[in-house]
Amino acid sequence: MQSCEPTAPEHDLRLISARRLLAAAIRMYFSGEDELAVDVLASAAVSLLRDLGPAEEGRSAVAHSLDEVSGLPLLMLAHGACIELSSEGIWPEGTVLWMYYNAMEGTPDSVEEDLREFVEALIPLAPEPRLAFCAGWIERLKESGTAEAISIH
């Protein structure tokens, strides 16, 4: 009897694919793209992630029902699943999403100390400038590969 668990190459390919879909969805979200398109990409990422990881771990990040989950909560669900299933850490889009989420929640103390000032800078901004600010952060992080690329000025 064959196992339903993906092989290592299949697992890696699904994780890479899900992460790329999610990164694109996050970039689109911060660029003010169509909400349905963002949700479709994030849902596709969650679908790829749903079957990854050993069953005994409970697949906590993707075990939630996707019914009526959209926008930022869906992106955070997919982001959590990627972090849970990957050993590579957070990538630029994920870093900015995490900071944005904590700004929206008013919880700057939830992020690493060296990134807290950036979250605090987001909190007072109106929605459109906040999204544009995050879109710019992603581009600077991708270009430099470090958190130092973020400037609050």
pLDDT in tens, 34-52: 999 999 999 999 888 887 7
- The pLDDT of residue 49 is 84
- The pLDDT of residue 126 is 94
Instruction: Identify the DSSP state of 111.
Output: S
- The pLDDT of residue 30 is 96
Instruction: Give 59's pLDDT tier (boundaries 50, 70, 90).
Output: very low
- The pLDDT of residue 153 is 41
**Domain regions of the chain by residue span:** 8-87, 93-149
Contact call for residues 121 and 144 (beta carbons, < 8 A)? no
Verdict on whether the full-model pTM lies above 0.85: no
Least confident of 45-54, 62-71, 90-99, 106-115: 62-71
Q: What is the mean pLDDT of residues 80-108?
A: 86
Calpha distance 50→30 (Å, rounded): 25
Amino acid at 88: E
Q: What is the mean pLDDT of residues 107-120?
A: 91
- The pLDDT of residue 134 is 94
